[in-house]
């Protein structure tokens, strides 16, 4: 049987790739998941693993540019046994075939693909594998964590058996893409399955040694730079033989080339430094000047893209006001113990601000509306999004029907959602559908800011830190705890009168909290 290997989807905007080089020749035998080629796009270099064991039949040649989804090669699985390698390798690989026989008899491998996790999510990133390649897994056991631009999901095993990982940690895979395979255990115990996997790996290692000795090299990839790494080494005049590869099978990665570049640059810097000193020029900067590069998470990339989109596609404007926080602080000081004793939750500022906003939103519905094409959608409910800073980036879980909740109900929802955000356990439903957002930069010490609208909403309220300042109260100068408020809004749907009136109404309700209780 011949298996067609096609160019995988390697990115949302990538439609074609170029074959940088074939690491195996036409007619060579390849093993499952062995890297057989390197593909280049306009953004990055990717490795192409074999999807099955067998004889390689190359279709597209080095230097060819082919579309995503096009056939790049075929693997003749039927001819795998007929193509016998060198005698020592064949004899050494025989125990490996025997060791893997129980798994083959057990049944067909179960292919696990990326499930549909949300209406607008087209790809996920593998955050971490919780089980190792070759481990035995049980049915419904969580084997990996997947990360989208909105949330983190757990991936349960769809069958019991031995895990074969296809996509690695950090890889971005489209919905429906292959993640791993599970070889059914056919009644074998966990210990037996793990023993088989270890024996298989050990036998393959023994089989590789005679072949390596015959060829005079460790593996085909040892000391070989990737196309990106080769380009860097060539530009810097560094011999690849002087670089230690840390990639798969000893391959020199782009990071290896960059590190080698830095290491080679240090001795060369000595001579210019001496010349500069001799010519009375400014000395070089003292101390370490290290840099580190980290890959942006899917969440942070999506947040960045959406914020830029909002700035470019909305008529965003910000209006400011200030609030005397003394009345609320007096209420908290007087009733916080009794409040916590009765409701089992603390009385914070967020419940007052959320409640005041829901009252003002119902009085000025344009602030609670949004634009959809040529239509304006007005909501008679208030789903308030609360911006929370999580370890993975900014998220905005939603408090549903906040206008119907009491102060203790709002506090409980804020605590529940904030905890799930910090633990990375928020669901898609808990982060979509908000009509208005509140963000509190004051917890980090911000005095003033212009928050960016959380699309497709039309307004966002920014809270800031509380500072003791002199203000005029009834003709007298007093020291009061003051907070600046900022309302950023889309001027296409919200007029200046509505935005200013909304913020003034929030100010009135906060400076006289009795209005919240009486509804006036």
Q: Which residue in 64, 67, 330, 495 is the catalytic one?
A: 495
Separation between Cα atoms, residue 302 and residue 396, nearest integer Å:
13
- The answer on 261 and 387 residing in a single domain is no
- The answer on 496 and 416 residing in a single domain is yes
- The answer on 502 and 355 residing in a single domain is yes
Q: Which helix (H) or strand (E) holds 513?
A: none
The reported pLDDT for the residue numbered 207 is: 47
Residue 89 is assigned to a structural domain of this protein? no
- The answer on 77 and 22 residing in a single domain is yes
Residue 355 is assigned to a structural domain of this protein? yes
Here the CATH number for the domain that contains residue 62 is 2.40.50.100
Separation between Cα atoms, residue 381 and residue 500, nearest integer Å:
21
Q: In this structure, are residues 499 and 338 in contact, taking their beta carbons and an 8 Å threshold?
A: no
3-class SS letters over 285-308: CCCCCCCCCCCCCHHHHHHHHHHH
pLDDT along the chain (520 residues), means of 10: 83 76 89 86 75 90 86 78 42 44 58 78 84 89 82 84 89 87 64 50 47 46 70 77 74 76 49 52 75 78 83 92 95 92 92 95 95 92 90 85 93 91 83 92 90 93 95 93 96 95 96 83
Residue 381 is assigned to a structural domain of this protein? yes
| Domains identified in the chain, total number | 3
Last residue of a domain, one of 48, 67, 83: 83
Structure tokens at 265: 């640059």
Last residue of a domain, one of 24, 53, 83: 83
Here the CATH number for the domain that contains residue 498 is 3.30.559.10
Question: What is the total residue count of the chain?
Answer: 520
Here the CATH number for the domain that contains residue 266 is 4.10.320.10
The whole-model pTM stands at 0.52
The reported pLDDT for the residue numbered 261 is: 56
- The answer on 314 and 263 residing in a single domain is no
The reported pLDDT for the residue numbered 268 is: 47
Identify whether 495 is a catalytic site residue: yes
Separation in Å, CA 94 to CA 144, 241, 436: 33, 35, 66
Query: For the chain, how far is it from start to end, CA to CA, in angstroms?
Result: 78
Other beta carbons within 10 Å of 95 = 16
Helix, strand, or coil (residue 397)? coil
Residue 64 is assigned to a structural domain of this protein? yes
- The answer on 361 and 504 residing in a single domain is yes
- The answer on 354 and 395 residing in a single domain is yes
Residue 403 is assigned to a structural domain of this protein? yes
Q: Which residue in 200, 372, 491, 512 is the catalytic one?
A: 491
- The answer on 340 and 453 residing in a single domain is yes
Residue 442 is assigned to a structural domain of this protein? yes
- The answer on 459 and 313 residing in a single domain is yes
Residue 471 is assigned to a structural domain of this protein? yes
Residue 221 is assigned to a structural domain of this protein? no
pLDDT in tens, 154-166: 889 888 889 999 9
Q: In this structure, are residues 310 and 452 in contact, taking their beta carbons and an 8 Å threshold?
A: yes
Strands 436-440 and 459-473: parallel
Identify whether 408 is a catalytic site residue: no
- The answer on 425 and 334 residing in a single domain is yes
Helix, strand, or coil (residue 172)? strand
Other beta carbons within 10 Å of 85 = 14
- The answer on 348 and 477 residing in a single domain is yes
pLDDT in tens, 211-255: 444 444 455 556 777 766 777 777 777 877 777 777 766 777 777
* Tokens 């790049």 belong to residue: 72
Show the domain range for 361: 298-518
């Amino acid at each position: 049987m011949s298996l067609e290997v096609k160019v995988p989807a390697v990115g949302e905007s990538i439609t074609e790739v170029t074959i940088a080089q074939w690491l195996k020749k036409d007619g060579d035998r390849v093993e499952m998941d062995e890297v057989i080629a390197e593909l280049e796009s306009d953004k990055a270099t990717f490795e192409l693993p074999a999807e099955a064991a067998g004889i390689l039949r190359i279709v597209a040649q080095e230097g060819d540019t082919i579309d995503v989804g096009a056939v790049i090669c075929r693997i003749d699985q039927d001819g795998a046994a007929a193509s016998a390698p060198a005698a020592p390798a064949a004899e050494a690989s025989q125990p490996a075939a025997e060791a893997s026989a129980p798994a083959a008899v057990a049944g067909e491998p179960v292919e696990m693909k990326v499930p549909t996790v949300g209406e607008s999510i087209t790809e996920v990133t593998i955050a971490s594998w919780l089980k190792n390649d070759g481990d035995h897994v049980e049915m419904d056991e969580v084997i990996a964590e997947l990360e989208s631009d909105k949330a983190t999901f757990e991936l349960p095993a769809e069958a019991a058996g031995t895990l074969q990982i296809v996509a690695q940690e950090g890889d971005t895979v489209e919905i429906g893409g292959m993640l791993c395979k599970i070889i059914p255990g056919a009644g074998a115990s966990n210990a037996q399955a793990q023993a088989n996997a270890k024996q298989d790996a050990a036998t393959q290692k023994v089989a590789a040694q005679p072949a390596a000795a015959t060829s005079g090299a460790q593996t085909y990839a040892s000391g070989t730079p990737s196309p990106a790494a080769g380009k860097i080494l060539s530009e810097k005049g560094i011999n690849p033989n002087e670089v230690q590869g840390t990639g798969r099978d000893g391959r020199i990665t782009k990071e290896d080339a960059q590190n080698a570049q830095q290491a080679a640059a240090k001795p060369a810097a000595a001579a210019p430094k001496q010349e500069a000193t001799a010519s009375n020029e400014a000395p070089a900067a003292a101390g370490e000047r290290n840099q580190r590069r980290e890959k942006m998470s899917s969440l942070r990339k999506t947040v960045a893209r959406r914020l830029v989109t909002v700035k470019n596609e909305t008529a965003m404007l910000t209006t400011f006001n200030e609030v005397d926080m003394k009345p609320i602080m007096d209420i908290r000081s007087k009733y916080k113990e009794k409040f916590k004793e009765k409701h089992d939750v603390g009385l914070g500022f967020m419940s007052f601000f959320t409640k005041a906003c829901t009252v003002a939103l119902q009085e000025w519905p344009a602030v609670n509306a949004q634009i959809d094409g040529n239509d304006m959608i007005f909501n008679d409910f208030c789903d308030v999004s609360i911006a929370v800073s999580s370890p993975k980036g900014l998220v905005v879980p939603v408090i549903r029907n906040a206008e119907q909740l009491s102060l203790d109900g709002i506090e409980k929802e804020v605590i529940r959602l904030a905890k799930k955000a910090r633990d990375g356990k928020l669901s898609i439903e808990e982060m979509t559908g908000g009509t208005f957002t509140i963000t509190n930069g004051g917890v980090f010490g911000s005095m003033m800011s212009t928050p960016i609208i959380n699309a497709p909403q039309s307004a966002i309220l920014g809270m800031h830190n509380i500072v003791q300042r002199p203000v005029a109260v009834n003709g007298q100068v007093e020291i009061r705890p003051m907070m600046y408020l900022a309302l950023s809004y889309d001027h296409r749907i919200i007029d200046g009168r509505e935005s200013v009136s909304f913020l003034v109404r929030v100010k009135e309700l906060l400076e006289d909290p009795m209005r919240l209780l009486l509804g006036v």
